Amino acid sequence: MKRALLLLLLLATPAFAQQLDTMVDQELPSLVATYKQLHLAPELSQHEEKSAALVAGRLRELGYTVTERVGKYDEPGLISYGVVAVMKNGNGPTVYVRTDMDALPVVEQTGLSYASTVKTKNATGEEVGVMHACGHDIHMTTFIGAAKVLAATKSHWHGTLVLIGQPAEEVVKGASAMLKDGLYERFGHPDYVIAFHDSATLATGTIGYTPGFFMASADSVNVTIRGVGGHGASPQSTKDPIVLASQFILALQTIVSREDSPLDPAVVTVGSIHGGTKRNIIPDEVTLLMTVRTYKPEVRKRVLASIERIAKNLALAAGIPENLAPTVDVLAGESCGSTYNDPTLTERLAGALKTAFGEKNVIKTDPLMVSEDFSLFRLEGNQIPTAMLQLGAIPPARIASGERLPSLHSSKFWPDPEPTLRTGVKGMTLMVWELMK
């Protein structure tokens, strides 16, 4: 009791906050160097071999018990580069902290002195540039920095700390691969799982939090509209899938505008449509690649059912024979549920951060329509409280200038490393202390 009281006093004193600032500041030059090293060597999803080795090596040096290659993909023969680092420190909760590690097939155009020039072949053999355009290099470096501070301040927290380096976030396969490999059974059932994602709109020095729904679910849907091809000058002897696909795309617009409640956000986007080879040939089929975003599971289910219903019934109306009905495939391996931040946990973390950073630097933010497989760590039916907060990464002067800021995944996106890492390492440390005090 006495000890706890003393610790509380210590944590509450400005001197202690200063001590943490000093520790983080001392680490910053080496963290910025690590960040640049990672930024210069980005690896595509499911190929994070060197990034994972770097993360694993650093955590091992700090005294964590590290297991590599955690995760099982459905694709046979593919290695999952998941990293799990455990530090046991007496009785207390089990807290998981997650970073992702993969980069994107983007040719970097930031013009920075440390811009990536990496090129590689993608899964279909095409040459692509590779860039940390989502800031997962910021996440890894924040994670390494916090791991160091936490290993050095073991008197300030108690329980089991589990740091996980997750591969393949951008293709939403990594979290499920790690869970399928017995993550929680092997390394302990978590009381909480927390993470940061960098923000392309929030200023450095600030942190964003969103209790409740934070990011949307994402479903990848492939639709093939089939018809009966023939001569472009003889439409009467064909069933034209191009006309039908056009009707289908327009009919899809009513799912959000007429079937969905205006209070339930949803997006239905056709991002790719392919059909035909020549102007005077009516083709046999048209393929459409779609993405669907929602928050509530029931809305997600209804929107996916509507897509199928509209496709099948428009084909019927066009007189397409039943054996050529459209096919609608929701790709299970490329889909994930919405990211839900446990409200109690999120408010608790935000409260601790506000004490350290000040009310005005810890900002309640609107939910986003992008997606994350971090959602999977809470397990079916919200069994585990999870929270992902946003880490401001943009120089305040750039925001004030009114320039159009590049979004995450843009070839021109760049976080300002030093101040972003300062807030990230300090914020992550404070969140772990709060949960394990």
Distances in Å between the Cα of 82 and the Cα atoms of 164, 291, 374 are: 7, 27, 14
Which of the stretches 28-36, 86-94, 134-142, 214-222 binds Zn ion when contact is defined by CB under 5 A? Answer: 134-142
Q: In angstroms, rounded to a whole number, what is the distance separating the alpha carbons of residues 34 and 36?
A: 5
User: How far apart are CB 183 and Zn ion at their closest, in Å?
Assistant: 20
Which of the stretches 43-51, 127-135, 340-348, 357-365 binds Zn ion when contact is defined by CB under 5 A? Answer: 127-135
Which of the stretches 26-34, 126-134, 222-230, 410-418 binds Zn ion when contact is defined by CB under 5 A? Answer: 126-134
Q: In angstroms, rounded to a whole number, what is the distance separating the alpha carbons of residues 416 and 429?
A: 20
386 forms beta bridges with 193
User: How far apart are CB 259 and Zn ion at their closest, in Å?
Assistant: 29
Q: In angstroms, rounded to a whole number, what is the distance separating the alpha carbons of residues 142 and 140?
A: 6
Q: Of the two residues 134 and 394, which places its CB atom closer to Zn ion in the complex?
A: 134
Q: Of the two residues 134 and 336, which places its CB atom closer to Zn ion in the complex?
A: 134
| CB 411, CB 22: distance < 8 Å | no
Q: Of the two residues 134 and 175, which places its CB atom closer to Zn ion in the complex?
A: 134
- Number of residues interacting with Zn ion: please give it, by CB under 5 A: 1
Which of the stretches 111-119, 129-137, 174-182, 275-283 binds Zn ion when contact is defined by CB under 5 A? Answer: 129-137
Record the tokens describing residue 401, joined without a space.
């200038």
Q: Of the two residues 134 and 202, which places its CB atom closer to Zn ion in the complex?
A: 134
Q: Of the two residues 100 and 240, which places its CB atom closer to Zn ion in the complex?
A: 100
User: How far apart are CB 370 and Zn ion at their closest, in Å?
Assistant: 7
Q: Of the two residues 134 and 345, which places its CB atom closer to Zn ion in the complex?
A: 134
User: How far apart are CB 78 and Zn ion at their closest, in Å?
Assistant: 20
User: Does 436 participate in binding Zn ion (rule CB under 5 A)?
Assistant: no
Which among 384, 389, 20 has a CA at the least distance from the CA of 175?
A: 384
Residue environment code for 331-360, b if the CB has 16+ CB neighbours within 10 A, otherwise e: eeeebbbbbbbbeebbebbbebbbebbeee
Q: In angstroms, rounded to a whole number, what is the distance separating the alpha carbons of residues 254 and 260?
A: 9
User: How far apart are CB 295 and Zn ion at their closest, in Å?
Assistant: 18
User: Does 134 participate in binding Zn ion (rule CB under 5 A)?
Assistant: yes
User: How far apart are CB 336 and Zn ion at their closest, in Å?
Assistant: 12
Record the tokens describing residue 262, joined without a space.
């205006």
Which residue number is nearest to Zn ion in terms of Cβ? 134
| CB 107, CB 129: distance < 8 Å | yes
User: How far apart are CB 147 and Zn ion at their closest, in Å?
Assistant: 20
Q: In angstroms, rounded to a whole number, what is the distance separating the alpha carbons of residues 338 and 294?
A: 7
User: Does 393 participate in binding Zn ion (rule CB under 5 A)?
Assistant: no
- Residues engaged in binding Zn ion (CB under 5 A): 134
